[in-house]
Structure 1
Amino acid sequence: MTTLFDSFRLGELALPNRVVMAPMTRVRAAAGGLATPSMAAYYAQRASAGLIVSEGVQPSLIGQSNPGTPGLHTDEQTESWRQVTGAVHTNGGRIFAQLMHGGRVSHPDTTGMRPVGPSAVAAVGDVFTPAGPKPAPMPRALETAEVPEHAASFGHAARRAIEAGFDGVELHGANGYLISQFLSSNANLRTDRYGGSVTNRIRFAVEATTAAVEAVGAERTGIRLSPGGAFWGVEETDTPALYAALLRELDRLGVAYIHLEATMGEEVLLPLRRAWPGTLIMNPVFPMGPKQTDRAAADRWLGLGADLIGFGRAFIANPDLVERLRAGLPIAPVDEATYYQGGDAGYLTYPAYQYTA
C-alpha cells in the first residue's frame, strides 16, 4: 500500500516523500515584487516536503492580482529569487514556482493598469488593493491579437524561474484567475477562437502551458486546476467534458503533473484521475473551507490513485509538517489574522514540535 512517506520520481526529481506544500499567498514580497530573506527562511523551514510549490508569482505586471506579491518578469525579481531557491536546496528541498496571472482579479491601484480578462465581466467580490479591499473593477476584454502575448508570458516567466534556481513551474489554472477565466462560461463570453465551445475555452490554457513547456521542458511544467470551482464568481458549463478535453491536450504536451483541488465531488474527480495517465497531485479538501487536509484525507486519496498530496494551511503553522504526520504528532493551529498582514509574525515564528521529557 502506498503511503505518504514513500519516495516518488517526478521527472528528474527524486522526492523523498509524497507530501507537497501547496501554493499559498502570503504577501511578504518587497517593493517591486522582489523576494526577500524572510521568504527564503520561510520556504527553507519547510524543505522537508517532498515538493514545495511557491506562492503565486505574477508573470507580468498586469498579471499581478494582490499587492505584496512577488514577480518573475524583471531581472531584479529573477535575481531576488536565488536566495529562496538556494536556501531550499541547501536544506535538501525541491521547489517549483507557481505562475499566476490574476486577469480580472486585480485593481488599477495595485498595478497602475486596468485589469484584463477574456470579456468585460467583473469578478464577484472585493479585491485587495494597497488601500484595502475594493470592489472588483470592470476588466478590459482582451483583443484576439492580444491573447497570445498573455499566454506567452507564462513561458517568459518559466524561463526566468529556472534561471533563478527553481526546479520547475506550476501554472495557476485554478481559483478564478486568468486561465480559469478562459475556461469559464460566464467570465468568458467571447465569440472568437477563445470562447464558446469546449475546444475554444481550453485553448488559452493549452497555449499558456505550451509556452512554459517550450521554455523549460514538459518534465519541469505542471498545472493546477479547480474543476467546477466558483471562485470570484466564475462558473463552468460541461465541466466533466471541459476538463477531459483539457487533460487530453495536457497529456499530449507531456506535462509533469496536474494538481487538482477537491472543488467537485468524487463522481467528477475520479473519472478525471482515470483519464489522466500521468502524475496527479491532489488537494483532498475544498480550498479555504472549514476542514484542512489531514492524514486521513491524504491516505484516502492515495488509495484512490493520487500520487502526491497537497497540504496548504497545515504548513503555515507547522514547518515540520512531514515529521508531525510521520510521527502522529499534534498539528498546530494557524493564526488566520496573520495570513496577509506582512512581517515575520505568523510567518517565521511558528516553531517545530517541542518534545518534552
Structure 2
Amino acid sequence: MTSTLFSPFELNSTLTLQNRILMAPLTRCMADENLVPTEQMAQYYARRADTGLIISEATIIRPDGQGYPNTPGLFNQAQVDGWKKVTTAVHNAGGKIFAQLWHVGRVAHPFFFGGGDVLSASNIGIEGSVPRMRDLSYQTPRAASVEEIAQLVADYAKAAKNAIAAGFDGVEIHGANGYLIDQFLHLASNNRSDEYGGSVQNMSRFALEVVDAVIAAIGSDRVALRLSPGAYFLMEGNHDDRAVFDHLLQALNSRSLAFVHIGIFDDSMTFDYLGGHASDYVRKYYKGTLVGVGGYTAETGAQAIAENRFDLVAVGRPMIANPDYISRVKNSEPLKEYEDSMLQALV
C-alpha cells in the first residue's frame, strides 16, 4: 500500500515532487534573537530533504505578526540571507521547500514588536498566555482598518517575493489554525459590518485578496494555502462558518494554486456543520490538489490517497523524531516515537 507514496507527483508544469509525503510545518522557535534562521536550522531541514516537499515552520511577514518567541521572519534582508542558507542546504540535498507565510493576528503580543496594537478582524480577544512565556497574557486586539488590511495584503505579497529571493520553491499562505486570515473566516472572531464582514463574500474577501496578491507577486504555480474550515484551535466553531468556506473553496478553484492544505492536528476529528471530517468536506468543494494531515501514518495516509480523500499527505511529529522518516518507511523499519523533549533540540 505505501508504495503509492513513493511515486513522483506533478503539482503543475513547473513543480514535480519526488514523492507524495510532505514535511508539515512545525513551529520550533529556534531562530536567533533577530528572527534570522540559523545554521542549525539549515542542517535540520537538509536532513529531511528526501520528502516530496518541505513546508517550513511558520514564518512571520512583519514584526507585529509575532506571537511566539524566536519564530523566523521574512521581512528584512538578514532574514532572507538566513533562509538562503536553509534553501541552499535543502536543494543541495535534492529537496524542495516552501515557506509558510504567517501573521498570528490576535495571538500576537506587543512584547515581541516593541509595543503597539494587536490587530485582528475584530476586537474579540482570546483567553490565556503566550506559549513558552506564561507571564505574557493575550491582549484585546483592535479591528484592522480597511487601510491597514490593504497594507497587510501588500506585506504578504512582499514576504512572498522575499521567499523567492531566499531560494524557496514557493510559499504556503497560513490561513488556518486560528491565526489572522482564519480570524476573518469565522463568525466567532469576525463581527465586522464593512466589506470584510457580514456576508460570506465579505468574510472571504481578505483571504482571497491575500491569495491574489501573492499570485500576482510570484505566480500561482508557486502558491499554496492552508485552511481550517473546522474551527478547533484558538477558535470557536459556528454552524454558519460552513457557508463562508463553501464560498471560499469554490472561489479558489479558479486560482490554479499549487495545493490547498488542511489545517488540523487530528483528522479523526469530525464537525457536524461540515458533515464529518474537514478533509472530506474540502475534497467535496475544492477540485485542485489537496494535502491531508493530522495523525496519519504512512499506511493510513496511503490508504486515504488510494480512496481519493486527498492527493498528498503531510507528516509532522514523526518527522521531528525521525529525520530519516522516508528511508525508514521505504524499508519497513520501525519509527522512533515522538517525545516532547525532542522539541528542545534540532536533530
Fold in common (TM above 0.5): yes
Tell me the distance in 1 between the aligned counterparts of 2:131 and 2:139.
11
Partner residue, 1:289: none
Equivalent residue runs for 1:31-70 within 5 Å: 31-70=33-72
Tell me the distance in 1 between the aligned counterparts of 2:112 and 2:131.
8
Partner residue, 1:181: 183
Q: Does 1:310 align with 2:310?
A: no
User: Post-superposition shift, 1:13?
Assistant: 1.7
Judge conservation of contact 1:228–1:236 (CA < 8 Å) in 2. no
Tell me the distance in 1 between the aligned counterparts of 2:165 and 2:225.
20
Tell me the distance in 1 between the aligned counterparts of 2:50 and 2:178.
30
Q: Does 1:333 align with 2:333?
A: no
**Identity value in percent:** 40
Q: Over residues 242-275 of structure 1, what are the superposed CA-to-partner deviations in whole Å (9 max), with x where a residue is unaligned?
A: 2221112212221111001335454553242132
Tell me the distance in 2 between the aligned counterparts of 1:335 and 1:232.
23
State TM-score, norm by structure 2. Answer: 0.92
User: Post-superposition shift, 1:41?
Assistant: 0.2
Partner residue, 1:322: 326
Judge conservation of contact 1:49–1:322 (CA < 8 Å) in 2. yes
Partner residue, 1:355: none
SS in 1 for 2:99: strand
User: Post-superposition shift, 1:162?
Assistant: 0.2
Judge conservation of contact 1:176–1:234 (CA < 8 Å) in 2. no
User: Post-superposition shift, 1:190?
Assistant: 0.6
Compared CA separation, residues 268 and 175, structure 1 to 2 (3 A)? closer
SS in 2 for 1:85: helix
Compared CA separation, residues 195 and 50, structure 1 to 2 (3 A)? same
Equivalent AA in structure 2 for residue 82 of structure 1: K
Equivalent residue runs for 1:238-317 within 5 Å: 238-260=240-262, 261=264, 262=267, 264=270, 266=276, 269-283=279-293, 285=294, 292-305=295-308, 306-317=310-321
Judge conservation of contact 2:45–2:90 (CA < 8 Å) in 1. yes
SS in 2 for 1:122: coil
Equivalent residue runs for 1:182-201 within 5 Å: 182-201=184-203
Tell me the distance in 2 between the aligned counterparts of 1:267 and 1:21.
21
Tell me the distance in 2 between the aligned counterparts of 1:57 and 1:315.
19
For structure 2, the 5+ residue unaligned runs are none
Equivalent residue runs for 1:198-237 within 5 Å: 198-237=200-239
Judge conservation of contact 2:161–2:218 (CA < 8 Å) in 1. yes
Equivalent residue runs for 1:91-240 within 5 Å: 91-113=93-115, 114-128=117-131, 131-240=133-242
Equivalent AA in structure 2 for residue 75 of structure 1: Q
Residue range with higher mean Cα deviation, 7-16 or 83-92: 7-16
Judge conservation of contact 2:55–2:100 (CA < 8 Å) in 1. yes
Tell me the distance in 1 between the aligned counterparts of 2:196 and 2:205.
6
Judge conservation of contact 2:252–2:286 (CA < 8 Å) in 1. no
Q: Over residues 276-330 of structure 1, what are the superposed CA-to-partner deviations in whole Å (9 max), with x where a residue is unaligned?
A: 22111111x3xxxxxx321232023202321110101110010111111222211
Compared CA separation, residues 182 and 77, structure 1 to 2 (3 A)? same
State TM-score, norm by structure 1. Answer: 0.89
Q: Does 1:22 align with 2:24?
A: yes
User: Post-superposition shift, 1:227?
Assistant: 1.5
Compared CA separation, residues 234 and 133, structure 1 to 2 (3 A)? farther
Judge conservation of contact 1:185–1:237 (CA < 8 Å) in 2. no
Equivalent AA in structure 2 for residue 61 of structure 1: P
Aligned residue-pair number: 335
Tell me the distance in 2 between the aligned counterparts of 1:31 and 1:268.
37
For structure 1, the 5+ residue unaligned runs are 286-291, 349-357
Judge conservation of contact 2:64–2:112 (CA < 8 Å) in 1. no
User: Post-superposition shift, 1:116?
Assistant: 0.8
User: Post-superposition shift, 1:133?
Assistant: 4.9
Judge conservation of contact 2:187–2:240 (CA < 8 Å) in 1. no
Judge conservation of contact 1:187–1:235 (CA < 8 Å) in 2. no
Give RMSD over aligned pairs. 1.7
Compared CA separation, residues 133 and 320, structure 1 to 2 (3 A)? farther
Residue range with higher mean Cα deviation, 119-128 or 301-310: 119-128
Tell me the distance in 2 between the aligned counterparts of 1:228 and 1:327.
36
